[in-house]
Structure 1
């Protein structure tokens, strides 16, 4: 099962034809309101809903059965997007696609990008993708991996999000061999064909594929 999560990030960064995605939907905070506005059925709405007015939250409650709304207090350790992913990973999930998680507040963006460094998400690290109109972000655990080029993507980047050792970019335009970890985004690389191979011994790598926004 594919689970799609819509967070409350800027609407103008949504991919085209967003709601043509297969699978089921979870709305995280204002993302649930966006799903409601577009008449998209959701299996869950979760968050503190502090970005909704009282009237909006009442309308949402009328649209969704009570058992499908998880309303948490604002003072909490987890972000709304994090709570949505925690719910998704408890399902029989083949992939988790997260939309609306970029743009807007920088602290939200950084929080979302580093969620997969948390050991509690170990079983979904390689199943999760963060997507917006010009970017795709995926994650790899230690091992040997093949990065398949997305249609129209041009730029390729790699970022260690925890203790990564012996990282190698093997057959991209700019190969790289690191014997020790450097917390640096190795950005603006490019594909020479339809895939790039990488390997590393420990940790988690964040992989970005991007195009310039017209």
Structure 2
């Protein structure tokens, strides 16, 4: 199963309609709070709507009730964010891939929390391909192993340690190559690299590594 989540982030951060529609046809959508209305505007009707809907007007909520079969409503005062509630539901579906939109924007607290929630997906569903996407960035996490990355219009590639130590980081096919480097948490050594080959390889043997692909 392939899943995609639309949260309530700013519309101008969300990729163009064509990119959303280019996801596999069997992708099922989860709408979070106002993200449900964003999906409606894109001509997409989600499988489930999740959230406290505190940013949705009464008439808009009626529209959601009429067009979404499953609605999971939470109280505004709760221990988890709406995003975490949606991810809990997604984890239960055991998807093979998960794409998250509307998770970045002006609220840096929400944005950082959403990025760290990727750790939860990585721990619960290590084989699930998971990305946070907006118009300028693609964010994903990796456990130790060897991975390939292809050239796209997201030219800049940064690797950021999420755990205390990344051991034996090796980059092949990049402008700035590395071989068996120890990267500590907080290091900026691997910010803003680029591929010089059609396909590059990165590998490491300890820690959790965040890859951010970006374009201006």
Could you say whether these structures have the same fold, taking a TM-score greater than 0.5 normalized by the shorter chain as the test?
yes
2:44 paired residue number: 40
**How large is the Cα RMSD of the aligned pairs?**
2.1
Q: Which runs of 5+ in 2 are unaligned?
A: none
CA shift at 1:76, angstroms?
Answer: 2.0
Deviations 1:65-122 (A, max 9, x none): 3xx1000112222221222222122224120011111122111111111112237743
- On the 8 A contact 2:32/2:83 being kept in 1, the answer is yes
CA shift at 1:168, angstroms?
Answer: 1.2
- On the 8 A contact 2:122/2:128 being kept in 1, the answer is no
1:108 paired residue number: 110
CA shift at 1:41, angstroms?
Answer: 1.8
- On the 8 A contact 1:126/1:140 being kept in 2, the answer is no
Deviations 1:170-191 (A, max 9, x none): 2221123433522235211010
CA shift at 1:18, angstroms?
Answer: 4.0
In 2, Cα distance between equivalents of 1:64 and 1:25 = 11
The 3-state SS of whatever aligns with 2:210 is strand
Matched, 1:156 2:157: yes
Matched, 1:203 2:207: yes
Number of residues paired by the alignment?
A: 209
**Cα distance, 1:125–1:109 mapped onto 2, change above 3 Å:** farther
Pairing of 1:26-105 with structure 2 (within 5 A): 26-65=30-69, 68-105=70-107
In 1, Cα distance between equivalents of 2:92 and 2:121 = 15
The 3-state SS of whatever aligns with 2:144 is strand
Q: Which runs of 5+ in 1 are unaligned?
A: none
TM-score (norm 2): 0.87
CA shift at 1:9, angstroms?
Answer: 0.8
TM-score (norm 1): 0.87
**Cα distance, 1:37–1:90 mapped onto 2, change above 3 Å:** same
**Cα distance, 1:99–1:125 mapped onto 2, change above 3 Å:** farther
Range moving further from structure 2, 102-111 or 13-22: 13-22
In 2, Cα distance between equivalents of 1:100 and 1:29 = 11
In 2, Cα distance between equivalents of 1:126 and 1:166 = 23
